[in-house]
Amino acid sequence: MASPEEKTILVVDDEQEIVDFLSMALEDEGFHVLTAMDGREALDLVAQRKPDLISLDLVMPKYPGARMIRELKKNKDWADIPILVVTGHARDEQGKADLEELSLLVSGSHLEKPVKPIDYVNAVRRLLGMEVCGESPAVLTSSSVKEELKRLMEQADDETLKKALDLLKVKKMP
């Protein structure tokens, strides 16, 4: 299993304080971090060095995250880069529609600001298929739970899958 020191994360946000906060959380865990202040600058960095994951703000005035994701998906060499959307606009007019549209394009998940460092680092680890540390279940999004379940189901044996299926069927009954 890869270690954080082997992974490069590109953090993209138009607020310097957020970039600093997220970068510090990742660097404290040993990840190598690149930063950009908008989607255009981030695409230039991706062209120079493909990161293992992109942490992306959705609403940025110069070059929004949604536009950047669409550009990434057009390029066959970049389309598979995992993306973690970190936004403060998941529920408002500025970001909700973009987030819903992008959920079809992005296989990862999103976190809503403000984020706790451990939850942020664990979301990154989860998308990279790395072991996660202790976390706060209250901030897990439904998409991140589905991704974790999908990952675990792919690794489970037949007996475990049957038990999980039986459990889900029992929970579904009135």
Percent of the chain with pLDDT over 70: 76
For residue 107, give the nearest of 68, 87, 79 by alpha carbon. Answer: 79
Reported as a single tens digit per residue, the pLDDT across 130-159 is 988 765 544 455 555 666 677 677 777 888
Q: Which residues pair with 84 in a beta bridge?
A: 55, 109
Residue 9, pLDDT > 60, answer yes
Average pLDDT, the chain: 83
pLDDT band per the 50, 70, 90 thresholds, residue 104: low
Q: What is the arithmetic mean of pLDDT over 17-22?
A: 96
Sheet strand arrangement including 83-87: 32-36, 8-12, 53-56, 83-87, 109-112
Kindly report the three-state secondary structure assignment for every residue of 123-165: HHHHHCCCCCCCCCHHHCCHHHHHHHHHHHHHHCCHHHHHHHH
